Amino acid sequence: ILSIPSNSLLKRNHVAPIIMKSVTVNRDQKIQAERLLLPIVSEEQAIVETVLIHPVVIICGETGSGKTTQLPQFLYEAGFGSQGSGVFLFPCILKLPFIQAKLENPGIIGITQPRRVAAMSTASRVAVELGLASSRVAYQIRYDATVSPSTIIKFMTDGVLLRELTTDFLLSKYSIIIIDEAHERSMNTDILIGALSRIVKLRQSMWEQKKEGIKPLRLIIMSATLRVDDFISNTTLFSVPPPVINISARQYPVTTHFSRHTSADYISEAVRKVSQIHTKLPPGGILVFLTGQNEIIGVCRKLQARFGRKLKGGPSEKPTVPKNIGPAESPFSAIQDNSETMWIPLADVEAEEIELGDGALDVDLNIDLEDESDDVRDPDDSMTDIEEMPMHVIPLYSLLPSEKQLEVFKEPPARSRLVVVATNIAETSLTIPNIRYVVDCGRAKERKYDSRSGIESFSVSWISKAAAAQRSGRAGRTGPGHCYRLYSSALYENYFDEFAQPEILRVPIEGVVLQMKAMNIDTVINFPFPTPPDRDNLKRAERVLINLGALEDKGNGLTSITNLGKAMAIFPLSPRFSKVLVSAKQNQCLPFAIAIVSALSIGDPFIRPEHFSTSENQQGTGKDEAGVGKPRLGAFYASQQLHGSLGGGISDVFRYLSVVGAYEFAGEDSDFCMEHFVRPKAMEEIHKLRIQLSNIIQINFPEIGVGTLKLNKPPDPTQASHFFSVQVLSLSTPPQLRVLRQLLAAAFIDQVAVRKDIVDNSSSDGNKYTSCRNVPYKALGVSDDVFIHPSSILYNSPPPDFIVFHEMSKTTQTWLKTNTIINPAWLPKLAPSLCSTSKRVKTFDGKVLIVPRFGPELWELPAIREAENK
């Protein structure tokens, strides 16, 4: 047992250690043989020693080198995680404090993953490799866990560890934390690394002061690519740069082929390319990168129908559709999850007609060698005529049930070709064996934030060059491979960023600040972010949160989270929208509030004249979605009148509410959208988001019934507009309508606009407004006059005194969109932080009136009697 390995760091430092493994593991022979092939195994000695000497260590290694599955095992065998005395190293010469620390330092080995799939699948893999029960090598993701008091290795999503920080900031049950996939720079990972940089120091100094029960904590940051500069050179993060261990992996050459042109229809292109590879090239797995579940299911169906094993007859089990998709791990990712609520087991997919597009399967055998490789070439440059072999098609995306996800690791049926169609989950999180060909669409679904509208969305955008390299690398794990990029090299050179931007710079900063406050991180401005967001933006975000009542101003620049803020932090939404939901319990307003928030998040569902052109030769973009062709122009103009009549003349948001109610009544399959010139895609998304939000509320606040949008039968179904007569508006009570307007005022309290003549007592024409938000516009040299946008129902009515707006847009003038009339008397109650009540006036009859003033410019609101105010 006593040996001094040749690559021992201590030996190099002329220290003679005696190393013995503290835990013996009897692995299955086959597993042991597989392990020995992993590049990381030869570095075990160096890694364990470095981890012992340094509190923070960075490990970089190519995907598939064994980081995620092996590192926890090295640490376990070295004595981490064990309950007993983990003696493994006696320093003969040096008496270093860390040695003692280790001896007294049992505690869980924690590993975080950005994705649930990876947390679950690696936990079960490591349990098998170590021959331990799933309660000992466990996982914990939101709403599902196998952890028990005997857990020694715990895989979890980064969201889970962040939540643990809120109850135990010292993370005292852990002896070591591994942050995996740090190169992805997810917001959660970045915040965790920042927080852990402080916790490691704190635990060390508390241990040195011999605080009861406190042991040092170690931190390992693992990353796939070599972009670790942000962690090493950032001295606010780590005052001493942590050592970096590079795992050199065997990577076979991968030939990259760009397409000549970039087709917008990358889905058909992917099917075409896979078909070509399958029919023309030698055996070897194909990994296809697409952006989301629906695409993946579609492509899998087509490939299965064309090349899959013929399906056996007989009754098959019905596709399981998860009923309640819980909220996603990342506090903001629910909207994405929402678009992907279903999976379909391929075995149940009936053979359907294949639509592969023109010439999809005619592979041009006369390949022009000058060609910029929009072709599929045999790696050995000789066409091989392979016998027909069935395809074994497997989908892989994050919401796929875990047992289905594990399929990728199973041996495919003999004499078949494995084809995995995946999201970027297969980029680094999971290593799929035996992939020889990669087909890369070059896109990924990304969280986007529109700072103008304050709305977050998920949209498909180009990946970075680093991600493209990761994707092609997947083809070179077991032998030389080929990567077919479904985009041109010109596009790649000119439009792909070197690296993806850290998520923290892409999301609404108010949400980040609120999440951090909910984790009891008090000084967000001085927080050691790996890549810090702009300080002014952080300050502004704190201000917005104070105005929303989520934070309390403690003076001296200190703020703390309120109970309202804690409740708001639960929702995967911009804090404004969370505020609408958490305050909507009163007067049974919740189902309406859910519908409003969903509609506002998705955006204007009405098709308006500017959406299409009425000119002779062009039928415009509106046609795509609602079929507004020339013959239907009459109907379209009639619908415009109907759209304008909704909302009870007080709120554009209520128009949205009406259309949501009408759509739900009509049912998804009806011609409602077509007939009434409403965007079907928007309505579908609103519908899904409503379900998602209802689920989140039910799970987090089971005591609150979310209610339903109850709809009655239309009074006169023969009328053309009968659908719209089923307005939610007419079903809600006047107090409910008032509460809903108050909720909107509360959520957009810093987006109040007042008619200008009221502020300056001018006798202007009365359609100019001035807004609390116009300060930055002034700075830009824009006139501070703002106007109600023609799309608003308030445009043609007498201009109201006070409104809240949801969106400001600038053309030649600054417009307010999606407006709601509010009563200024509500403001002092809804936004004490924005109001002053210091001005008092005596009336002629001797009574004292308080004049509340509102906003940074302190507009005067209608006076209230002192007695009433009390």
CB of 853 to ligand ADP, least distance (A): 59
CB of 397 to Mg ion, least distance (A): 18
Phi, psi angle pair for 141, to nearest 5°: -125, 170
CB of 303 to Mg ion, least distance (A): 27
649 binds, among Mg ion, ligand ADP, none (CB under 5 to 8 A by kind): none
CB of 78 to Mg ion, least distance (A): 20
Q: Which of 400, 313, 388 is nearest to 116 (CA)?
A: 400
Strand locations in 397-532 (E): 417-422, 435-440, 443-450, 455-462, 481-485
Q: Using DSSP, state whether 502 is helix, strand or coil.
A: coil
Q: HSE (CB half, 13 Å, CA atoms) of 704?
A: 20
547 binds, among ligand ADP, Mg ion, none (CB under 5 to 8 A by kind): none
Stretch that binds Mg ion, among 54-62, 63-71, 88-96, 403-411 (CB under 5 A): 63-71
Q: Using DSSP, state whether 437 is helix, strand or coil.
A: strand
CB of 297 or CB of 435, closer to ligand ADP: 435
CB closest to Mg ion, residue no: 68
275 binds, among Mg ion, ligand ADP, none (CB under 5 to 8 A by kind): none
Q: Could you tell me how many residues of this chain bind Mg ion (CB under 5 A)? A: 2
> Which residues neighbour 573 within 8 Å (Cβ) at sequence distance 6 or greater?
332, 334, 456, 511, 581, 597, 601, 693
Q: Report the distance separating Cα 96 and Cα 80, nearest Å.
A: 18
Q: Report the distance separating Cα 298 and Cα 802, nearest Å.
A: 50
22 binds, among Mg ion, ligand ADP, none (CB under 5 to 8 A by kind): none
Q: Report the distance separating Cα 429 and Cα 27, nearest Å.
A: 24
64 binds, among Mg ion, ligand ADP, none (CB under 5 to 8 A by kind): ligand ADP
CB of 141 or CB of 740, closer to Mg ion: 141
CB of 420 or CB of 744, closer to ligand ADP: 420
232 binds, among ligand ADP, Mg ion, none (CB under 5 to 8 A by kind): none
Stretch that binds Mg ion, among 64-72, 90-98, 235-243, 379-387 (CB under 5 A): 64-72
Q: How far is the first Cα of the chain from the last one, in angstroms, to the nearest whole number?
A: 81
CB of 67 or CB of 679, closer to Mg ion: 67
Q: Report the distance separating Cα 868 and Cα 225, nearest Å.
A: 65
CB of 90 or CB of 409, closer to ligand ADP: 409
Q: What angle do CA 810, 811, 813 make, to 5 degrees?
A: 80
CB of 40 or CB of 747, closer to ligand ADP: 40
CB of 272 to Mg ion, least distance (A): 32
CB of 219 to ligand ADP, least distance (A): 17
398 binds, among ligand ADP, Mg ion, none (CB under 5 to 8 A by kind): none
CB of 443 to ligand ADP, least distance (A): 23
CB of 70 to ligand ADP, least distance (A): 6
125 binds, among Mg ion, ligand ADP, none (CB under 5 to 8 A by kind): ligand ADP
751 binds, among Mg ion, ligand ADP, none (CB under 5 to 8 A by kind): none
CB of 126 to ligand ADP, least distance (A): 8
CB of 292 to Mg ion, least distance (A): 22
Size of the chain, expressed as the number of residues it contains? 870
Question: Which residue in this structure is represented by tokens 């089923």?
Answer: 726
Q: Report the distance separating Cα 471 and Cα 468, nearest Å.
A: 5
CB of 268 or CB of 429, closer to ligand ADP: 429
227 binds, among Mg ion, ligand ADP, none (CB under 5 to 8 A by kind): none
CB of 67 to Mg ion, least distance (A): 5
CB of 457 or CB of 478, closer to ligand ADP: 478
CB of 344 to ligand ADP, least distance (A): 23
- Other CB atoms within 10 A of residue 348 CB: 12
CB of 151 to Mg ion, least distance (A): 20
Contact 296, 395 (CB under 8 A): yes
> Which residues neighbour 702 within 8 Å (Cβ) at sequence distance 6 or greater?
none
Which contacts of 823-829 are long-range, i.e. CB under 8 A and separated by 24 or more positions?
A: 823/741, 824/754, 824/854, 824/861, 824/862, 825/861, 825/862, 825/864, 826/742, 826/745, 827/745, 827/749, 827/752, 827/802, 827/852, 827/854, 827/861, 828/852, 828/854, 828/861, 828/864
611 binds, among Mg ion, ligand ADP, none (CB under 5 to 8 A by kind): none
Q: Report the distance separating Cα 809 and Cα 94, nearest Å.
A: 68
Question: Which residue in this structure is represented by tokens 């049950």?
Answer: 173
CB of 148 to ligand ADP, least distance (A): 21
Q: Which helix (H) or strand (E) holds 769?
A: strand 769-771
278 binds, among ligand ADP, Mg ion, none (CB under 5 to 8 A by kind): none
The residue within the footprint of Mg ion, chosen from 50, 68, 157, 223 (CB under 5 A), is 68
CB of 39 to ligand ADP, least distance (A): 8
β-strands 435-440, 285-289: how paired? parallel
579 binds, among Mg ion, ligand ADP, none (CB under 5 to 8 A by kind): none
Residue 211 one-letter amino acid: K
CB of 433 or CB of 620, closer to ligand ADP: 433
69 binds, among Mg ion, ligand ADP, none (CB under 5 to 8 A by kind): ligand ADP
CB of 64 or CB of 79, closer to ligand ADP: 64
Q: Establish if 470 lies at the interface with Mg ion (CB under 5 A).
A: no
CB of 68 or CB of 771, closer to Mg ion: 68
Burial class (CB in 10 A: 0-12, 13-18, 19+), 33: exposed
- Tell me, what DSSP letter sits at residue 865? E
Contact 472, 440 (CB under 8 A): yes
CB of 134 or CB of 619, closer to ligand ADP: 134
Burial class (CB in 10 A: 0-12, 13-18, 19+), 743: buried
Contact 398, 425 (CB under 8 A): yes
CB of 38 or CB of 193, closer to ligand ADP: 38
Specify which residues 421 forms β-bridges with: 288, 395
Q: Mapped to the 3 state alphabet, what secondary structure does 685-724 carry?
A: HHHHHHHHHHHHHHHHCCCCCCCCCCCCCCCCCCCCCHHH
Question: Contact residues for ligand ADP (CB under 6 A)?
Answer: 38, 61, 63-70, 121-122, 125, 406, 409, 431, 433
121 binds, among Mg ion, ligand ADP, none (CB under 5 to 8 A by kind): ligand ADP
CB of 227 or CB of 608, closer to ligand ADP: 227
CB of 60 or CB of 561, closer to ligand ADP: 60
Summarize as ranges the residues that interact with Mg ion (CB under 5 A).
Answer: 67-68
